[in-house]
Chain A
């Protein structure tokens, strides 16, 4: 159970980075990016490829994954100046699927590297040192959890600070439309570009951390529904508030993984006695039902709590 909780906290911490990144794009800059998962995928794949095929260190791999995802963010931002918001949103979904289809159809070197097979045996940082020192896998997982949480804290602080700078303030103005910022001399396209680059970098970094933690990645991990789960985190927590994104991540991660908790609560006999509950708790039903629950929560939040659990804060200047 503890092992599982550590795993949950680590992947949750990585998901929180994705939520923070999306909060910068949507909460601050108003960019409806439905292809967020592409950053995660690019970060993971590029880092794994750099390390495994390029023979570079893991640090360079992670850096490469981060930069590649940032560049993809810039690419996605390029048409924003000319496109209406909803057209741009659907093209981000399409762009993310193109990225996934690319990795799904491309083999790197051997047929077992890439394509539907994914990438297996991705090296983990300092893994050998742990083994040589006689430490266990649990020790290593605890170390990685620390690594993730420290990175998460750093990203959180940097993004929150950024939101308070004149740069962040201009992003907040842009989320309500181009006209006023343009009339005030702000080069709106440049701001969006930078928001997407930073968002991409954070998402790519998270993807690289995930790849080197999980040691295995596969195109199935990066389907569009994953993007929606990140959206759920941001909307539930409160768009525009970075703390909210983290709170949303904790709640959604818990719900999403609740299947395993519930399974350990209810004994098989209980389930057989009550047909309806038994039906609901069947894994093939429970899996989709948790998604229904997440969707329902988002709808309720939008209808009754549009600013989320932790609403955006105003900075006060009154004397």
Chain B
């Protein structure tokens, strides 16, 4: 195992008015594995992802990624460092087609600058062609190849989640954060998403996944951490952690959350 974890969260805290969303969370996400983050509804998982990716400011604590402190950087800068994320309610632009969504996601496009779009159109065109090829490959791995010209708004809920994942992959990130990638997805597609993530991990991609679906977590993650009311209460191998009594209690204490199955 590498000496330095890929993502390091230290003592991060955040309140919203009277609500303590995160209360001193520290977490190390090493490279080379699929890391799961679970916890009942409202335990602060999304808030933690938002803080890591610069969408929400932390009240205190530090976050570093790939050896660099990133707390306080604007979110687009954090993304450019190789930290890509999806959103819990998948929000990829609905009035753009699947392929437009994918091309949008490519990093370092010179055609985004007006000067280059006008003066270096050859280079821009070559980039577009290369990105198009890569997008087709990624869409094939997530089984969306047949949908390239479909508007994202017309996809099913599961397909939207897959598109978000594919978008995240398109930017060639060092770490991918997924917020509930299989919530509301039919069981067959859940398995499929799980195996896509596993094979991507074996191919060298790193993941931090927030999820509720316990069988998905067991099948996909190498390691899990458990959040409860803003604190980490357990961390370790999925089977062992999910059997711990305090983890069970955290889930059972909330009638709304599904208990680990």
User: Quick one: which of B106-156 are within 8 Å of A by CB?
Assistant: 107, 109-114, 117, 124, 128, 132, 148-149, 151
> B104 to nearest A CB, angstroms?
5
User: Quick one: which of A84-143 are within 8 Å of B by CB?
Assistant: none
Q: Which residues from A are CB-within-8-Å of B76? A: 181-182, 185-188
The CA of A169 and the CA of B99, in the complex, are separated in Å by: 11
Contact of A180 among B80, B91, B99, B128 (CB under 8 A): B91
Q: Does chain B have a CB within 8 A of A75? A: no
What are 7 contact pairs spanning A and B, CB under 8 A?
A166-B109, A167-B111, A170-B112, A177-B93, A183-B55, A185-B107, A315-B97
The CA of A166 and the CA of B105, in the complex, are separated in Å by: 10
Q: Does chain A have a CB within 8 A of B254? A: no
Question: Is the pair A184, B104 in contact by a Cβ cutoff of 8 Å?
Answer: yes
The CA of A98 and the CA of B148, in the complex, are separated in Å by: 47
- Count, A-B residue pairs, CB within 8 A: 101
Task: Sort A-B residue pairs by CB-CB distance and give the 9 closest, nearest first.
Answer: A166-B111, A185-B79, A317-B99, A185-B80, A176-B93, A165-B117, A182-B75, A166-B109, A173-B93
Q: Does chain A have a CB within 8 A of B60? A: no
Kindly report which residue of chain A lies nearest to residue B100, judged by CB atoms: A169
Q: Does chain B have a CB within 8 A of A314? A: yes
Q: Can you list, as one digit per residue, whether each of B69-109 has a CB less than 8 Å from chain A (1) or not (0)?
A: 00000111101100011110001111111011101110101
> B105 to nearest A CB, angstroms?
5
Question: Is the pair B112, A166 in contact by a Cβ cutoff of 8 Å?
Answer: yes
The CA of A57 and the CA of B242, in the complex, are separated in Å by: 78
> B227 to nearest A CB, angstroms?
21
Q: Does chain B have a CB within 8 A of A212? A: no
In the complex, besides A172-B100, A185-B79, 18 extra interface pairs with C-beta distance below 8 angstroms are A166-B111, A166-B128, A169-B96, A169-B103, A172-B95, A180-B167, A181-B76, A182-B79, A184-B84, A186-B112, A187-B74, A188-B76, A314-B100, A314-B151, A315-B97, A316-B97, A317-B97, A317-B149
Q: Which residues from B are CB-within-8-Å of A173? A: 93, 96, 101, 104
Q: With A183-B87, A184-B84 given, is the CB distance from A167 to B114 under 8 Å? A: yes
Q: Does chain A have a CB within 8 A of B171? A: yes
> A136 to nearest B CB, angstroms?
40
User: Quick one: which of A174-229 are within 8 Å of B by CB?
Assistant: 175-177, 179-188, 191, 194
User: Quick one: which of A238-273 are within 8 Å of B by CB?
Assistant: 240
Q: Does chain A have a CB within 8 A of B47? A: no
Question: Is the pair A183, B53 in contact by a Cβ cutoff of 8 Å?
Answer: yes
> B146 to nearest A CB, angstroms?
9
Q: Does chain B have a CB within 8 A of A288? A: no
The CA of A110 and the CA of B153, in the complex, are separated in Å by: 59
Q: Which residues from B are CB-within-8-Å of A318? A: 148-149
Q: Which residues from B are CB-within-8-Å of A184? A: 79, 84, 104-105, 107, 167, 171
Q: With A165-B111, A166-B128 given, is the CB distance from A177 to B91 under 8 Å? A: yes
User: Quick one: which of B48-80 are within 8 Å of A by CB?
Assistant: 53, 55, 74-77, 79-80
> B123 to nearest A CB, angstroms?
11
Question: Is the pair B113, A167 in contact by a Cβ cutoff of 8 Å?
Answer: yes
Question: Is the pair A176, B94 in contact by a Cβ cutoff of 8 Å?
Answer: yes
Question: Is the pair A182, B55 in contact by a Cβ cutoff of 8 Å?
Answer: yes
Q: Which residues from B are CB-within-8-Å of A187? A: 74, 76
Q: Which residues from B are CB-within-8-Å of A314? A: 97, 100, 149, 151
Q: Which residues from A are CB-within-8-Å of B87? A: 179-180, 183
Kindly report which residue of chain B lies nearest to residue A81, judged by CB atoms: B74
Q: Which residues from B are CB-within-8-Å of A316? A: 97, 149
